[in-house]
Each structure stands twice: as structure tokens, then as C-alpha cells.
Amino acid sequence: MMPEASGDEEDDLVARARSARSRAYAPYSHFYVGAAIRAAGDVFVGANVENASYGLGICAERVAAATAVASGSLAFDAVAVTSSAVDPTPPCGACRQFLYEFNPEMLVVSEGADGERRRWRLSELLVDGFGPADLRRPRIGEEEER
């Protein structure tokens, strides 16, 4: 099922992601990404931050998520992503997992440079994802613990 269509709130979230993209630090890939997360009415933004030690770079989505959490907001409703690409960029696998922790049903909307948008539920992008509940399930050898 297609998640809900565009509205003012979505337009605002995408605009915030676009603005965050202008602050991306991506001197190595030159692929600039901005993200904005809506959580209980508040918006938290992020941009990708690369590093001369290439593997340490972090995606815009995870910067936004960590900023939200550090600000005390964990109930994510939606995330908007914008990038340098003409077509809408889907979040990478690591970011899907990182976001899944906070709400598998959040709306993910991505806008390409030409204005086209794609929308998904996070659970469509990460099917049968691993989350906090999986750590609460019975484990083998439990009786030996402690």
C-alpha cells in the first residue's frame, strides 16, 4: 500500500532536508545528502559527514536520528531524504537498520533533484528487520546466565 500522499507537513520536512543538504561535508564522494526526521511535531536534521579516513563517514539519516535521540525524541514519524541525485535516493541498508529501531512503520520520503518523490514505509525497505523485540525473545542457555 502506498503511504500517504504529499501534504504541507511533508513539503516542510523535505524542505528541511534540502536545507540540511547544503551543509553536507562530502569532499570525497561529492554526493551531498540531507535528511530531516519528524518526531512528535519536532524536526531534526542531518547531513552526511565524510572523513579523510573514508570508512568513518556517516550518512545524513543517521546524523539526523542521533540528533533527535540526543534531544530526547525517540518517536519518529517520518524521515525525508534529499541528495545530489536526479532520482530519489533510497536510504542505505545501514540507515534502514538504524532507523528501524525507532519505528518500523515510519514514512520514508525521498526527493530527487528534479522534484520527483518516492515514498515507502520503512518496513517495506527492511522486511523482517531485527529490532529491540528480538533481544527480548527467549535465548538458549538462559538458565546459565548470572
Start-end of H helices in the chain: 8-21, 60-70, 93-100, 122-125, 132-136
Q: How far apart are CA 136 and CA 129, in angstroms?
A: 15
Selected catalytic residue, list 10, 61, 116, 145:
61
142 in active site: no
Site string for ligand THU, 81-100 (x = CB under 6 A): --------x-xx--x-----
Is position 130 an interface residue for ligand THU (rule: CB under 6 A)? Answer: no
Using alpha carbons, list the distances in angstroms from residue 57 to 12, 61, 83, 131. Answer: 27, 12, 16, 24
31 binds ligand THU (CB under 6 A): yes
Contact indicator for 12, 36 with CB cutoff of 8 Å: no
- Range 141-145 contact pairs with CB under 8 angstroms and sequence separation of 24 or more: none
Q: Does 68 bind ligand THU (CB under 6 A)?
A: no
Pick the stretch among 59-67, 71-79, 99-107, 137-145 that binds ligand THU (CB under 6 A).
59-67
| Size of the residue set binding ligand THU (CB under 6 A) | 14
When the beta carbons of 29 and 40 are compared against ligand THU, the nearer one is 29
**Contact set with ligand THU (CB under 6 A):** 26, 29, 31, 33, 48, 50, 57, 59-61, 89, 91-92, 95
Residues with catalytic roles: 61
